[in-house]
Amino acid sequence: MTTATPVRAGSRRRPAAQLTQPPSTHEEQLRLFSTALTVVGILALWFAAQVLFLGSLSQDREQALLHDRFRSDLATAVAPVGPVVPERTPVSLLTVPGLGLEQVVVEGTSSGALLSGPGHRRDTPLPGQVGTSVIYGKGATYGAPFGRIAELTAGDRIEVVAGQGTQVFTVTGIRRAGDPLPARPVEQEARLTLVSAEGTGRLAALSRGEVVYVDASAKEGFPAPAGRLGAVPEEERAMAVDQAILPRLALLLGLLVGATALIVLLRQRWSGVLTWVMATPVVLALSWATTDAAMRLLPNLV
């Protein structure tokens, strides 16, 4: 025989649904703030990683692909000789034995083009041709292929392999802003000018704001076809930025804001662990694309 449990007068059992209170407005605001802060933190860390580490890996991969393509172009005799070459097309292989440097040079000197490697300024002859060919290269980010060109001295060798053959240059000097320009090339002479950014002091690697030029010469260059560009746009000059990337960057930032809002919504329905397991790949992909676009707003020689 069971005995019923007495119920005190005036007491009622509350329904189970009333035991779980909905989050307060303050809790929702705190959740929104913490989620947004996490996304911003991921973006900031990814940008730092892109500058210090991932950019170099990306540049190495691009160089490997460009090397295979240019070797194939040389083997099939379709390597470009000018005067007009599509942007980011490999035009030569640049080797500086004294620095242990070997890089495929692409056409164009915009900030985006230099992410792949050194770039040939399009209003100058191709490397190895008669006249003065100008090549830009980054000095601090994305592998910093030209980060040590200021260490070259007169007499050092620079080798260039291009569609017309191999040319060997001898360094004649290094100059900076305010230094006198070299004399004009004599007839049939080929000149090569390497251009990058350098810094000074203890933070030289992070404060590269000065332009450095390395001049080199070869006695006889290959013929340069007529018809090359008379000038290049502002974004392809030394220390310029690629403002054409701004619409894409704005779109990517908008997608990041949308992803943040979606994560907040999911956290109201799922646990924090499950939400971030699902959202992290999307946030990292957007962060990669956003930082890659933002890098093009840095000066092209940095």
Residue-wise pLDDT for 77-123, tens only, equals 999 999 999 999 999 999 999 999 999 999 999 999 999 999 999 99
Burial class (CB in 10 A: 0-12, 13-18, 19+), 204: middle
Tell whether 121 is covered by a domain: yes
CA torsion angle for 239, 148, 80, 56 (degrees, to 10)? Answer: -80
Q: Is the pTM of this model over 0.85?
A: no
Number of domains in the chain: 1
Residue-wise pLDDT for 267-302, tens only, equals 778 887 888 888 888 888 888 888 889 889 999 999
Q: What CATH number corresponds to the domain at position 125? A: 2.40.260.10
Q: Which residues pair with 176 in a beta bridge?
A: 212
Tell whether 108 is covered by a domain: yes
Task: Give the model's pLDDT for residue 18.
Answer: 46
Tell whether 269 is covered by a domain: yes
Q: For residue 163, what are the domain limits?
A: 28-302
Tell whether 120 is covered by a domain: yes
Tell whether 261 is covered by a domain: yes
Amino acid at 58: S
Tell whether 129 is covered by a domain: yes
**Residue 17 clears pLDDT 50, i.e. is over it:** no
Between strands 131-136 and 190-198, the pairing is: parallel
Residue-wise pLDDT for 33-44, tens only, equals 777 788 778 778
Tell whether 4 is covered by a domain: no
Task: Give the model's pLDDT for residue 219.
Answer: 95
Query: Cis bond leading into 125, ω under 30°?
Result: no
**Residue 9 clears pLDDT 80, i.e. is over it:** no
Are 154 and 172 contacting, i.e. CB atoms less than 8 angstroms apart?
yes
Task: Give the model's pLDDT for residue 37.
Answer: 83
Tell whether 6 is covered by a domain: no
